[in-house]
Structure 1
Amino acid sequence: MKPVISIKLAVMALSALSLSACVSLLPESTPSSVYRLSSPEARTWTGEDWTVVEVVAPQAPRGLAGDEIAIQMADGRIAYMAAARWIAPTPRIMQTLIVDTFNGSESHLAPTLPEDGVRAAYELRLDLREFEAVYDRGDSNAPLVRVRLATRLIASRGRQIVGSSVFIGEARASSNRVGAIVAAFDQAATQVSQELADWTAVQTAR
């Protein structure tokens, strides 16, 4: 039984390895469905006794820098879902999720973006290493979504690294369908962003 999702021709560079994908089963003119990651509800805060953290958009390899949904086939090939995209480039949707997670947490963190022009006490530098659905059980079975994010927290005063860590989120899709796979991306990314928020709160409270 063939996968119910379609993939299109792609060549990606991940971990310094160039991998090719297989040909799309859909014509190029097929309209794309657009997906976003869910976000927690924001809390209300007054700006008093909060630590301002600037969240920089994650750096990502070229194959993960666009708005296409990446998948890794059972034989190791990297491909993209046809007729399905993220609402924004992958680094941007992760940056937005992290900011929303900080805003929704009960911590003392107040996240800002570089374009806000706000003086922050800390800067969060991020590297998106993985953001793909891995067909580890064969191309016809539900894949495992993996999100891996490396981070460095830098104090603005003195430009010293306060801490660094790597966060990994995994979620198995409930089926081999686009909607189920996107839901697994949402779960894995939310896990990473929440762990990152908790870690940042601890580091900045020291």
Structure 2
Amino acid sequence: MGSNKVWRGARAIGLGVLLAAGLSGCAGGARDDTFSLSSVPEVVGPTAKNRQILVPEPTALKALDSEQVVIRLSGSEIQYLSKSRWSDRLPRLVQSKLIEAFENTGKLGGVGRPGEGLAIDYQVVADIRSFEIDAGGNDRASIEISVKILNDRNGAVKSQRVFSTSAPVVGSGNAAFIAALDKAFSQATGEIVSWALNSI
């Protein structure tokens, strides 16, 4: 797929300009196609019924902290996928799917968001470093998320790891790009949840 043809109509600006502009003028319109992250993988891991965890909203740079789908053309130049948007801000979407994945294991005493009143043992603190389509060569979805397991009782970091996954774009059109991101995120989610269960 030729990148110039595929991304025609997207807004292309340098990363420095993007951050300075605060994403102004890039909000999706009412006619944009809206996508969510659908994949919640089955996870193998030990049971920790005596543990309750908190999943705060992940942190992310402003370029990722929006409803826009990021396309990276080079190391410093990004675009947003035209006529497409996430169903919520990306960090909130990732938080929701991580909570769902932890809950679906049935292996924990409780999983919650801040403010839900759980007696928390550990926090799963994530930072989204990359969540994009890499259009620099072969089009691929690329995701990188740094995760810490934080002891909620004493503030000590019990474990820390960076998760990097990718998936090829199969087909053409916006739905194909989103499907690749969904597949890469599903893999990352499975690895994060399995690792966390083994860490607590």
TM-score, with structure 2 as normaliser:
0.82
The answer to whether the 8 A contact 1:167-1:195 is kept is: yes
Structure 1 residue 30: Cα displacement: 7.0
Structure 1 residue 10: Cα displacement: 5.1
What SS class does the counterpart of residue 124 from structure 2 fall into?
strand
Could you tell me which residue of structure 1 aligns to residue 108 of structure 2? 108
Q: Does 1:161 align with 2:163?
A: no
What amino acid does structure 1 have at the position aligned with 2:34? V
Q: Does 1:151 align with 2:153?
A: no
**What RMSD in Å do the two structures reach over aligned CA positions?**
2.5
Q: Deviations over 1:12-48 (max 9, x none)?
A: 64xxxx266xxxxxxx867101000004389xxxxx9
| Number of matched pairs | 184
Could you tell me which residue of structure 1 aligns to residue 33 of structure 2? 33
Alpha-carbon distance in structure 2 between the residues aligned to 1:109 and 1:10: 46
What amino acid does structure 1 have at the position aligned with 2:184? A
Could you tell me which residue of structure 2 aligns to residue 201 of structure 1? 197
Q: Percent identity?
A: 20
The answer to whether the 8 A contact 1:61-1:129 is kept is: yes
Alpha-carbon distance in structure 2 between the residues aligned to 1:149 and 1:75: 18
The answer to whether the 8 A contact 1:70-1:132 is kept is: yes
Alpha-carbon distance in structure 1 between the residues aligned to 2:17 and 2:110: 40
Alpha-carbon distance in structure 1 between the residues aligned to 2:182 and 2:156: 33
The answer to whether the 8 A contact 2:41-2:190 is kept is: no
Structure 1 residue 97: Cα displacement: 1.1
The answer to whether the 8 A contact 2:72-2:135 is kept is: yes
Alpha-carbon distance in structure 1 between the residues aligned to 2:50 and 2:128: 27
Could you tell me which residue of structure 1 aligns to residue 5 of structure 2? 3
- Where in structure 1 are there 5+ consecutive unaligned residues? 21-27, 43-47
Could you tell me which residue of structure 2 aligns to residue 120 of structure 1? 120
Could you tell me which residue of structure 1 aligns to residue 64 of structure 2? 64
Could you tell me which residue of structure 2 aligns to residue 181 of structure 1? 177
